[in-house]
Chain A
Amino acid sequence: DGGITQSPKYLFRKEGQNVTLSCEQNLNHDAMYWYRQDPGQGLRLIYYSQIVNDFQKGDIAEGYSVSREKKESFPLTVTSAQKNPTAFYLCASSPDSEKLFFGSGTQLSVL
């Protein structure tokens, strides 16, 4: 069953803690993206990767980090430097950097 899998669906972070959101795709897409969505807002780009072992900052990269060691995987770490991490996080992939395919999202909340 092809697609993009994000886990976990819900995640809670304690103050000062780093947490990692998982994104895996079996679509053989080269490009992968992380977006943040706040209630009633559009999506904002955090990081993107066009190829393995390479990634670029988006509009709101501060307080986040990523890695792209495998084509299928693009994990996002929300660090303690991100002071307002509560949001809905969406991972996407694309075969051509045009049409995007999204995962089902991870809701991150602060305890």
Chain B
Amino acid sequence: DIVMTQTPLSSPVTLGQPASISCRSSQSLVHSDGNTYLSWLQQRPGQPPRLLIYKISNRFSGVPDRFSGSGAGTDFTLKISRVEAEDVGVYYCMQATQFPRTFGGGTKVEIK
């Protein structure tokens, strides 16, 4: 199985300031079709997960442009350019390059 490791576990951020979350996979996530199936999901308190970013850097429908994804191979980053109160929650990376699909352990974003 591909192990997804996220850092940090927790990220206290001041409103309006940037936040960055790292995700590292135990193997390359480049698929044989040339795509890299690395997604980022947001889970607000008491809510189901919501897709933010897919294939490293593609924002899903309705996702604000303050969210951006980058990376390649085994190292990926989610950035929030200016954190807003509604961004509080847990963020997960997920790989869909190989079966079984696996998730990172999550990073909690909270306001200082």
Interaction A to B: no
Interface residues of B (CB under 8 A from A): none
